[in-house]
């Protein structure tokens, strides 16, 4: 699976959009981009995933560049409860060697 | 629907002791995995399974054994606990078909003294 690069930490003002970038320049054509977050010491929580089209759900939007070498997770109106570590992962789904490898992630601080 | 259930939530072991961390899911998920997370660090994959009777090693498998006799359960066994295994352990599961994300349990906090 391709490697990802994320900033170590970011700040965001409460009520503003939080834009979290992820680079995955070695992504292959059948690898999907997944985002998870981990609030304090809880188990990680799945947020969203996509292949090449932009995706939106009740939690966030995922923007993937046309060349698929990078993506951005957007939390449209960040709240204090969105303070967490956000992980960007790329992997091939439905493979016999399925495994999801987490990197260090981005620590997002939402400030009042 | 309880999701992914991990027991115990907390455990203290002495060096050399063995124990089994339990993980059960009631969502009929085919894929299950075990991760460990050391303080201030990301998650590292220990072992994973793509279905009953099938397991494979992750990034850090040494010192741990797994088995998958049923779809629902995926226990993690520590053979001879060492202080380096002090960590928080997370179990996760997912559907095998389709593009689904993982559902994680709430974790087991293990201290080896």
Does residue A111 register a pLDDT over 70?
Answer: yes
Predicted confidence at residue A76, as pLDDT, reads: 96
Predicted confidence at residue B41, as pLDDT, reads: 84
Residues 7-66 of B with CB under 8 A from A: 31, 33, 35, 41-45, 48, 50, 56, 58-59
Q: Given CB atoms, is A55 within the 8 Å cutoff of chain B?
A: no
Mean pLDDT along residues B51-60: 91
Q: What distance in Å separates the CA atoms of residue B55 and residue B48, rounded to the nearest whole number? A: 6
Predicted confidence at residue A7, as pLDDT, reads: 97
Mean pLDDT along residues A11-28: 95
Mean pLDDT along residues B68-85: 97
Does residue A99 register a pLDDT over 90?
Answer: no
Predicted confidence at residue A23, as pLDDT, reads: 95
pLDDT tens, residue by residue, B13-53: 999 999 999 999 999 999 999 999 998 888 999 999 989 99
E strand or H helix that includes residue A109: strand A106-111
Most confident of A58-62, A88-92, B91-95: A58-62
DSSP string, B54-68: EEEE-S--TTEEE--
Predicted confidence at residue A102, as pLDDT, reads: 83
Mean pLDDT along residues B79-101: 89
Among the partner-chain residues B48, B90, B101, the one whose CB lies closest to the CB of A34 is B101
Q: What distance in Å separates the CA atoms of residue A105 and residue A46, rounded to the nearest whole number? A: 14
Q: Given CB atoms, is A42 within the 8 Å cutoff of chain B?
A: yes
Q: What distance in Å separates the CA atoms of residue A29 and residue A105, rounded to the nearest whole number? A: 23
CB A36 to CB B107 under 8 A?
A: no
Q: What distance in Å separates the CA atoms of residue A103 and residue A92, rounded to the nearest whole number? A: 16
CB B50 to CB A100 under 8 A?
A: no
Predicted confidence at residue A2, as pLDDT, reads: 62
Rounded to a whole number of angstroms, the distance from the CA of B48 to the nearest CA of chain A is 7
- Residue B97 pLDDT grade (very low, low, confident, very high; cuts 50, 70, 90): low
H-helix segments, A46-104: none
CB A46 to CB B98 under 8 A?
A: no
pLDDT tens, residue by residue, A21-71: 999 998 888 888 999 999 988 999 999 999 998 999 999 999 999 999 999
CB A87 to CB B99 under 8 A?
A: no
Predicted confidence at residue B101, as pLDDT, reads: 86
Rounded to a whole number of angstroms, the distance from the CA of A43 to the nearest CA of chain B is 5
């Amino acid at each position: 699976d391709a490697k990802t690069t994320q900033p170590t930490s970011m700040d965001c003002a409460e009520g503003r959009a939080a834009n979290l970038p992820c680079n995955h320049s070695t992504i292959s054509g059948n690898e999907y981009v997944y985002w998870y977050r981990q609030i304090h010491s809880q188990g990680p929580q799945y947020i969203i995933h996509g292949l090449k089209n932009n995706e939106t759900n009740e939690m966030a939007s995922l923007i993937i560049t046309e060349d698929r070498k990078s993506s951005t997770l957007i939390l449209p109106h960040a709240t204090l409860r969105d303070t967490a570590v956000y992980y960007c992962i790329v992997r091939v789904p439905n493979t016999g060697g399925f495994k999801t490898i987490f990197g260090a992630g981005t620590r997002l601080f939402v400030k009042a | 629907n309880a999701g992914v259930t991990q027991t115990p939530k907390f455990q203290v072991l002495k060096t050399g002791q063995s124990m089994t961390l339990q993980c059960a899911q009631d969502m009929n998920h085919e894929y299950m995995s075990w991760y460990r997370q050391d303080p201030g660090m990301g998650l590292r994959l220990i072992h994973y399974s793509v279905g009953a009777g099938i397991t494979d090693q992750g990034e850090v498998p040494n010192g741990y054994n797994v088995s998958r006799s049923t779809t629902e359960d995926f226990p993690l066994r520590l053979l001879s606990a060492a202080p380096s295994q002090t960590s928080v352990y997370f179990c996760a599961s997912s559907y095998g078909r389709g593009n689904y994300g993982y559902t994680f349990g709430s974790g087991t906090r293990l201290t080896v003294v």
